[in-house]
Chains A and B, each alone.
Chain A
Amino acid sequence: MLDILLSSLGQLFTLSHLLFMVLGVLVGLVVGIIPGLGGIAGMSLLLPFLYGMEPSVALGMLMGLVAVIPTGDTFASVLLGIPGSSASQATVIDGFSLAKRGQAARALSSAFLSSMIGGLIGAVILTGFILIARPLVLSFSSSELFMLTLLGLSMVAVLSGRDLFKGLAACGLGLLVGAIGMAPATGEFRMNFGLDYLYDGVPLVVVGLGIFALPEIIDLLVKRGAIAEEPCKLGEGWRQGIRDVREQRGLVARCAAIGSLIGTIPGLAGSVVDWLTYGHAVQSAKDKSEFGQGDIRGVIAPESANNACACGAMVPTLLFGVPGSGTAAVFLGGLLLLGLQPGVGMIETHLDLTYTIIWSLALANILGAALCLVLARPVAGLTRVPFATLAPVITVLIMFAAFQATRSAGDLFALGAVGVLGVLFKQANWSRPAFLIGFVLAPGAEGYFYQAVQFQGTDAFMRPGVLIIGALILAALFIPVLRSLWLKRRQASTVGAASTARAEPPTLGVIDVVLFAALLATAVVAWIDVADLTLIGGIMPRLAITILAASCLLEIARCLLHRPQRQPQAIGQQGLWLIGFFALVGSMLLLGFVTAATLFSLVFLLTVARLKPWMAIIMSLGVMAFLVGMAQFLTLTYPPGIIDPLLFG
């Protein structure tokens, strides 16, 4: 045993292994920083070089890449509010809020440091765990997996706080949108409205970008100014971030442990870990008021978890050949190209390679996070630049990122459509994370529920694992309620002012009314569409519709019962920018993606940002070079339009 550990350690520090790992780390950082590319694109860049390489060296390169992608994508989430990949969606909420408060450097440095520590903890846990993981992974049957998705969904209640019904409505809509596409149980197609694009469902990347990034861009354009609304203190913030991690070391350790263990469960991995740890940070905090407005714990928790999760996801990939995440799926392909068949053999005959993989992850984590830490301070300066200058570049970037999802024009329209929803939600202060959680967990919740019932019948819900997770869910839902009741009673008995315990009145604005009407209409249309489905194929969308409609009606009833507080909700300017976005999509299809993107950048920089002409020309040429270059490397075919084929072949 010890000799295997030592020999893989020796392998780790050979020159060729280190060189290729550094190469993997560099590719991973670049790919991670560019939104929308993530692990899958990075792997596809490296795969062509893989065939015929020495396995241990090639694995170093792949691991370098896998390890740093959840680190690199933090730049986009914190600085620009763009969720770079599914691993950084929870980071966006507080990370970007911190950036807007001028604390980008603080958010970044604590994110990278906690990423590094999380990754290391993950690797340490894995070193021992991988030997005993097989029975443990196998003890998670479909019913436990279903309960885990429920645990993820229960975070909606934790995150929506006072506006519970709005949060539930958002989650219901998320579940409904997540149910678009093929029903896992029967293979029926649901709610595709005759559009080929919807047969596979709406891609996660597109939903993430539309719900978070697009509304933020538009909001910043309406407000003018830079991303940072308050003066930045880069150097001080950077050191503050390091101190934050030291103060929150307990949170870092807990989230890393959660991340690495949940990562080992095949089929869930990345999608719940972020939200579980974010919810955990909210629940365990004494003062919750700052979450969503820029609480550093909201950055530290998911960031310590996601690198650890990437480590954990190696367990099902290596031991069972069942990838735990999208990136792991591509990594699996890489293993096969190297002639390595994942399975029990990875423990029995290739244990040295397995340890090379785990420790390469750890080493690459340190390297990647250190590089990012150095970069954090200068890059955070971006938040001081007037936003109008960045806007066209970021807009093109998120369109490019969305287009990566299925590489069809439908991605751009879907981005716009989800963007409209995102703007409405943002302006009316509905919970966007709740929508995303519903969307992400819909397929898992449905699939595992059906499997649990089919495989195990009613016994499914009496298993010890199920009961334990069930207790966790109840605790997550009710402990905060009970605690606040208890606090209130104590306050009431000491002060004697029972009237303060009255619930605050609901708020109501124009957009709320529009949303109620639109959501109820959606519910009706969807209900009619799923009418023909079989019982099993239709149960999930019907449940989602019920949640959506019932929460909307309850919120309306609440407004009727308690006189609502009027809330001004502006939408005029945002609406104009949205129309502009669709006009841009239209011109991309008409003229060609590259041509329209370049022209748009030029015109925008000259007229809105009012840059000097030479600056505007250089920047738009940069946009063009980026798009054309990416097309070369990723063998991309953009929507051609009329002009692109003439200019770019």
Chain B
Amino acid sequence: MMIPRTETKNPLLGKLKKAALLGIAITGIGLATSVQAQDADVPGNIKWTVPFGVGGGTDVWARFFAPWLSESLPGEPTIMIDNVPGGGSINGANLFAIRARADGSNWLGTSASTQYPAMLGDPRVRYDYNDWTPILATPTGGVVYAQPSLGETADTALDALLEQPVKLAAQNPTGVELPVLIALDMLGADVQAVFGMRSRGEGRLAFERGEADIDFQTTSAYLSNVEPLVEAGKAVPLFSLGVLNDEGQIVRDPTFPDLPTFNEIYQARHGEAPSGQEYEAFRKFFASGYALQKLIMVPKDTPQPLIDTYRQAARDFVGTDAFKEAAAAQLGPYTPVIGDVAQRHLEDAMSIDEATRDWLANWLQSEHDVKLQ
């Protein structure tokens, strides 16, 4: 949407003006054009491709970031969000791979469901993360919780979990639940995943209805929708997935300082730190789906000074109190990862070797009766 920026003291008036403009514009009477002060480096218009539908998680994330980025970039470029949904984000990312110009005017917002198919070698994927450079990444955490009927405390529930088959409602075999399924399997739980949920929210509904024995939610959904259940004694939190520190190690999630991570639980139950191919698979999919859940990417050939400008702009606002306050509702209490750190973690996560992929294909086939395409 190209609407001229209006500088005004009264925010309500400003909104009214914007809104009035929208009203005029939509009836087709006038087409507002964009008048921008051009900065030497930063393009006046940035098209940010979001390969998901309007109102989805990644779309909201991008719309939240757009004004912050725009305001801290020199020349305050207009950032347009271009939603290209389809194929669970594969279509939009494919189009970006073909069409995007490397002059800094094209950004891509990706999410776990963009990363995973690339790691799994989905035949529809025609993009390569090596062609892109990350500007910023936002992490999320997640918590696995159980019905109190399994056990009143985390310990007893975990014991019960390891003794009897349990059901978990998931989206699809290669969706965001993948690392959770691997983790539960490593612990020794017999999880029967019921696929076909259209969102994690539907999975939570199945849990609340008592159909699923255990469930898993990412941080923001957990805080707003599961914490009340825990308080009411209708859910027992078992473990969190943890977060990645700058050195790439999984540590306790600052949102849930009292909740052990999967690694700790594993250590406690098996007497040793998790390792092997299955842990390698868990770690990579955890890193690309949670520690770097959503990413702002630009084509690799974008001029380095411009990439540095973008990263610096992100650093400028990420530290401010105003941002932290606004971000608490949107991103949870996590700090965005910017620049080289994001790049290092991303390269590590996306480079999945043949052996691990083979193990994963076998595991999906034997545990969930699913053939990797």
Closest to A20 in B: B19
Whether the pair B55, A454 counts as a contact (CB closer than 8 A) is no
Assess whether B201 is interfacial by the CB under 8 Å rule. yes
Q: How far is the CB of B84 from chain A (nearest CB, A)?
A: 7
Q: How far is the CA of A44 from the CA of B26 in the complex (A)?
A: 13
Whether the pair B228, A343 counts as a contact (CB closer than 8 A) is yes
Residues of chain B with a CB closer than 8 A to A534's CB: 369, 371
Whether the pair B53, A40 counts as a contact (CB closer than 8 A) is yes
Assess whether B9 is interfacial by the CB under 8 Å rule. no
Whether the pair A44, B19 counts as a contact (CB closer than 8 A) is no
Q: Pick from B134-142, B188-196, B239-247, B261-269 the stretch touching chain A.
A: B188-196
Residues of chain A with a CB closer than 8 A to B35's CB: none
Which of B22, B31, B81, B87 meets A196, CB within 8 Å? B87
Q: How far is the CA of A266 from the CA of B197 in the complex (A)?
A: 12
Residues of chain B with a CB closer than 8 A to A138's CB: 205, 208-209
Q: How far is the CA of A19 from the CA of B124 in the complex (A)?
A: 47
Whether the pair A406, B18 counts as a contact (CB closer than 8 A) is no
Q: How far is the CA of A27 from the CA of B209 in the complex (A)?
A: 38
Assess whether A180 is interfacial by the CB under 8 Å rule. no
Residues of chain A with a CB closer than 8 A to B27's CB: 30
Residues of chain B with a CB closer than 8 A to A187's CB: 172-174, 195, 370
A49-B18, A337-B64, A534-B369 are contacts. A322–B167 as well, Cβ < 8 Å?
Answer: no
Whether the pair A186, B370 counts as a contact (CB closer than 8 A) is yes
Q: How many residues on the B side are at the interface (Cβ–Cβ under 8 A)?
A: 68
Residues of chain B with a CB closer than 8 A to A51's CB: 63-64, 67
Residues of chain A with a CB closer than 8 A to B204's CB: 320, 322
Residues of chain B with a CB closer than 8 A to A142's CB: 206, 211
Assess whether A575 is interfacial by the CB under 8 Å rule. no
Whether the pair B28, A626 counts as a contact (CB closer than 8 A) is yes
Q: How far is the CA of A633 from the CA of B169 in the complex (A)?
A: 39
Within 8 A of A (CB), among B167-218: 167, 169, 172-174, 192, 194-196, 198-199, 201-202, 204-206, 208-209, 211-212
Whether the pair A406, B85 counts as a contact (CB closer than 8 A) is yes
Q: How far is the CA of A142 from the CA of B203 in the complex (A)?
A: 11
Whether the pair B225, A455 counts as a contact (CB closer than 8 A) is no
Query: What are the interface flags for B318-359 relative to A under an 8 Å C-beta threshold, 1 for contact and 0 otherwise?
Result: 000000001001100000000000000000000000000000
Which of A61, A450, A635 meets B81, CB within 8 Å? A635
Q: How far is the CB of B203 from chain A (nearest CB, A)?
A: 10
Residues of chain A with a CB closer than 8 A to B47's CB: 635
Assess whether A609 is interfacial by the CB under 8 Å rule. no
Whether the pair A40, B54 counts as a contact (CB closer than 8 A) is yes
Residues of chain A with a CB closer than 8 A to B82's CB: 635
Q: How far is the CB of B69 from chain A (nearest CB, A)?
A: 12
Q: How far is the CA of A253 from the CA of B16 in the complex (A)?
A: 38
Whether the pair B198, A267 counts as a contact (CB closer than 8 A) is yes
Residues of chain B with a CB closer than 8 A to A447's CB: 196
Q: How far is the CA of A57 from the CA of B218 in the complex (A)?
A: 29
Task: Count A-B pairs with CB separation below 8 Å.
Answer: 174
Within 8 A of A (CB), among B213-229: 220-221, 223-225, 228
Q: Pick from A280-288, A324-332, A352-360, A511-519 the stretch touching chain B.
A: A324-332
Whether the pair A455, B12 counts as a contact (CB closer than 8 A) is no
Which of A19, A189, A333, A342 meets B224, CB within 8 Å? A342
Within 8 A of A (CB), among B355-373: 369-371, 373
Closest to A332 in B: B55
Q: How far is the CA of A603 from the CA of B87 in the complex (A)?
A: 38
Q: How far is the CA of A26 from the CA of B86 in the complex (A)?
A: 30
Assess whether B233 is interfacial by the CB under 8 Å rule. no
Q: How far is the CA of A184 from the CA of B198 in the complex (A)?
A: 9
Whether the pair B55, A47 counts as a contact (CB closer than 8 A) is yes
Q: How far is the CB of A28 from chain B (nearest CB, A)?
A: 11
Query: What are the interface flags for A585-624 relative to B under an 8 Å C-beta threshold, 1 for contact and 0 otherwise?
Result: 0000000000000000000000000000000000000000
Query: What are the interface flags for B34-69 relative to A under an 8 Å C-beta threshold, 1 for contact and 0 otherwise?
Result: 000000000000010000011110011001100100
Q: How far is the CA of A447 from the CA of B373 in the complex (A)?
A: 21
Whether the pair B87, A345 counts as a contact (CB closer than 8 A) is no
Assess whether A481 is interfacial by the CB under 8 Å rule. no
Q: How far is the CA of A199 from the CA of B202 in the complex (A)?
A: 22
Assess whether B4 is interfacial by the CB under 8 Å rule. no
Closest to A53 in B: B15
Closest to B326 in A: A339
Residues of chain A with a CB closer than 8 A to B205's CB: 138, 266, 320, 322
Whether the pair A330, B202 counts as a contact (CB closer than 8 A) is no
Assess whether A649 is interfacial by the CB under 8 Å rule. no
Assess whether B306 is interfacial by the CB under 8 Å rule. no
A40-B54, A635-B1 are contacts. A455–B167 as well, Cβ < 8 Å?
Answer: yes
Assess whether B2 is interfacial by the CB under 8 Å rule. yes
Within 8 A of B (CB), among A292-349: 320-322, 329-334, 336-337, 339, 341-345, 348
Residues of chain B with a CB closer than 8 A to A47's CB: 54-55, 63
Whether the pair B224, A345 counts as a contact (CB closer than 8 A) is yes
Assess whether B302 is interfacial by the CB under 8 Å rule. no
Assess whether A407 is interfacial by the CB under 8 Å rule. yes
Assess whether A185 is interfacial by the CB under 8 Å rule. yes
Closest to A327 in B: B55
Assess whether B25 is interfacial by the CB under 8 Å rule. yes
Residues of chain B with a CB closer than 8 A to A141's CB: 209, 211
Which of B22, B195, B196 meets A49, CB within 8 Å? B22
Assess whether A48 is interfacial by the CB under 8 Å rule. yes
Whether the pair B224, A321 counts as a contact (CB closer than 8 A) is yes
Q: How far is the CB of A526 from chain B (nearest CB, A)?
A: 20
Considering residues B31, B55, B201, B202, which has the most beta carbons from chain A within 10 angstroms of its beta carbon?
B55
Whether the pair B31, A632 counts as a contact (CB closer than 8 A) is yes
Q: How far is the CB of A569 from chain B (nearest CB, A)?
A: 38
Q: How far is the CB of A218 from chain B (nearest CB, A)?
A: 28
Closest to B48 in A: A635
Q: How far is the CA of A450 from the CA of B31 in the complex (A)?
A: 50
Whether the pair B59, A333 counts as a contact (CB closer than 8 A) is yes
A23-B23, A329-B56, A339-B330 are contacts. A320–B201 as well, Cβ < 8 Å?
Answer: yes
Q: How far is the CA of A293 from the CA of B25 in the complex (A)?
A: 40
Residues of chain B with a CB closer than 8 A to A343's CB: 224-225, 228
Closest 7 CB pairs of A and B: A333-B55, A330-B55, A184-B196, A341-B224, A322-B201, A44-B54, A339-B329
Task: Name 18 A/B residue pairs within 8 A (Cβ), A-sorted.
Answer: A30-B27, A40-B54, A141-B209, A141-B211, A184-B196, A185-B196, A186-B370, A266-B202, A330-B53, A330-B54, A337-B64, A343-B224, A344-B228, A450-B196, A455-B169, A629-B31, A635-B47, A635-B80
Given contacts A320-B201, A339-B326, 9 further A-B contacts (CB under 8 A): A27-B23, A47-B63, A52-B11, A199-B87, A336-B60, A341-B329, A632-B2, A633-B1, A633-B25
